[in-house]
Amino acid sequence: MSFFNKQNRMRVFLEYFGIGAAMTNAMKVKSFEISPEKAYHLIKGDGILAAAIVQVCMDRIGDQQQFLVLRAGISLHHMGEVVQTPIDVMHNAVSLERLAYQILALGEDTRVVMEATGRYHEPVARELHNHGIFVSVINPIAIHGYCTSGTVRKVKNDRKDALKIARFALDRWTELREYTPMDALRQQLKIFSRQYNLYMKSCVALQSNLISLTDKVFPGVNELFKSPQRADGHEKWVDFVTTFWHCECISMVSENAFTNRYQKWCKRMGYNFSAAKASDLYFESLGHIVTLPKNNNTKLLIQTAAKELTAMNELIAVVRGEMTRLAKELPEYETVHAMYGVGDTTAAQLIAEIGDIRNFPRRSSLVGFAGVDPAVDDSGKNVGNSKAATKRGSPHLRKTLFQIMTIYLRLAPQDEPVYQFLNKKRSEGKPYYVYMTAGSNKFLRIYYARVKECMAKLDESAKPSETIE
């Protein structure tokens, strides 16, 4: 760390940034020439972590405020006095604890501000918070959109990044929200949500692959079963083709023989048996022109694809359950879950992607974060004709919103304001993406109002009650 002193103001910048996983978990400090006019140091570690330690205190001599800012990579200060040379910080409990004690020694009015960088910022934020230090984690989008360069040149380096986050923290000193263990819970929920989306993509690919293979041995078999997926992730048609992997497994025996075998299979797999269904399956297996013969190679292809899909569905079921459990621990879950079109999974995904609603000062901030707000292209008397969505922010949130809008379209609740607005745009002849985006915008505004009210009540109840003597 480098500390710089000035008569009425002091600023220090410190940054961690990555050089790849080959460095293990160690953060190594490299120091360069330090002068009163310009000083900086570089900390290399296992991933990107932008952090600023900001201190505001009163000058001991006068009444002028002093500022101390430490930004996690380049340390830069003009016309300053070096009061401490750089130090080595290892990315482990011992070194982070030592760092916490050094920060505490700066004074009570010290704040740590860092960009959210997933797995890289979490250990640092948690350790410093546990030592009673004010920590604030900022969305990188907010930092990225903050301009302090004062130049038309496009400059991107560690020095400029350090200056940006430091000035951002100082400009929003009173607005900084403190990191809490609840934020760690939200981070876990977000990770589960992202993994869920990843596994769902894999599931779609595996399902398409299995359908493609079964069309060569039993065309349309996946359409013969209407049973929904069970809670454990099993689907009846997938389990069926695992055993009856070729239409000749059915058609080459008598109907009674297949019915008896199907009944035993249903009992073993935990599915309801229907003699009528068995009869339908038998006759549907007759007369097909197959492109893969009934042999061991075909059996291996079908059963392997079916087992892979089942395993992925089981994994998704576990992740979905844990994601819902985490979401239920958050105070706004019941409010979000009660909204029309929102189920257990979508409620967890909404909360995971949006995070703490108190981080958004206005409804427009949340809408802009989702990227479902119309772009503005006006200048003077010229009004831009294009009002396409900005598509900034979280694409995962937009995907979840579109899933909810699809439910609105399918169920068509006439008394729901979101559907009324959505249907109005559709009746006006707007393209699909336009009216789906408009509906998502409307939904988010309602979400903001309801969840904001919920959190306001929570904050009010958390205040200590005043006693009247």
**Residues 203-242: pLDDT tens digits?**
999 999 999 999 999 999 999 998 899 989 999 999 999 9
User: What CA–CA distance (Å, rounded) separates 268 from 257?
Assistant: 17
Asked if 14 and 70 touch (Cβ cutoff 8 Å), the reply is yes
Strand-pair partners of 53: 70, 112
Whether the predicted pLDDT of 50 surpasses 60: no
Long-range CB pairs of 331-340 (<8 Å, 24+ gap) are: 331/454, 331/455, 331/458, 332/357, 332/451, 332/454, 332/455, 335/450, 335/451, 335/454, 336/447, 336/450, 336/451, 339/443, 339/446, 339/447, 339/450, 340/408, 340/413, 340/416, 340/418
Q: Nearest-5° angle of CA 179, CA 180, CA 186?
A: 95
**Residues 170-179: pLDDT tens digits?**
788 887 888 8
At residue 188, what are phi and psi to the nearest 5 degrees? -60, -45
Long-range CB pairs of 208-214 (<8 Å, 24+ gap) are: 209/305, 209/309, 210/238, 210/241, 210/302, 210/305, 210/306, 210/309, 213/292, 213/301, 213/302, 213/305, 214/241, 214/302
Strand-pair partners of 47: none
**Residues 342-354: pLDDT tens digits?**
999 999 999 999 9
Which of 137-146, 207-216, 297-306 is predicted with the least confidence, judged by mean pLDDT?
137-146
- What pLDDT score was predicted for residue 266? 95
Strand-pair partners of 382: 379
Choose the most confident range, by mean pLDDT, from 73-82, 86-95, 320-329. 320-329
Structural domains in the chain? 3-179 (no CATH), 189-327 (1.10.287), 330-462 (no CATH)
- What pLDDT score was predicted for residue 388? 61
User: What CA–CA distance (Å, rounded) separates 463 from 465?
Assistant: 6
CA 62 to chain centre: 47
Asked if 8 and 68 touch (Cβ cutoff 8 Å), the reply is no
What the block records as the tokens of 369 is: 């974060």
Stretch 438-452: mean pLDDT, rounded? Answer: 94
- What pLDDT score was predicted for residue 14? 36
User: What CA–CA distance (Å, rounded) separates 24 from 20?
Assistant: 8
Stretch 100-127: mean pLDDT, rounded? Answer: 78
Whether the predicted pLDDT of 180 surpasses 90: no
User: What CA–CA distance (Å, rounded) separates 27 from 42?
Assistant: 10
The closest alpha carbon to 451, from 332, 330, 328, 348, belongs to 332
Mean pLDDT of the chain, nearest integer: 76
**Residues 231-278: pLDDT tens digits?**
899 999 999 999 999 999 999 999 999 999 999 999 999 999 999 999
- What pLDDT score was predicted for residue 440? 93
Asked if 247 and 314 touch (Cβ cutoff 8 Å), the reply is no
Count of helices and strands (H, E) across the chain = 16, 9
Whether the predicted pLDDT of 335 surpasses 70: yes
**Helices 296-328 and 344-354, interaxial angle, to 10°?**
60
Element housing 30 (H / E): strand 28-31
Exposed/middle/buried for residue 38 (C-beta within 10 Å: 0-12, 13-18, 19+): middle
Asked if 138 and 68 touch (Cβ cutoff 8 Å), the reply is no
The closest alpha carbon to 14, from 109, 80, 84, 86, belongs to 86
User: What CA–CA distance (Å, rounded) separates 399 from 220?
Assistant: 29
Whether the predicted pLDDT of 293 surpasses 60: yes
The closest alpha carbon to 320, from 199, 211, 436, belongs to 199
Stretch 196-202: mean pLDDT, rounded? Answer: 95
What the block records as the tokens of 152 is: 């038309």
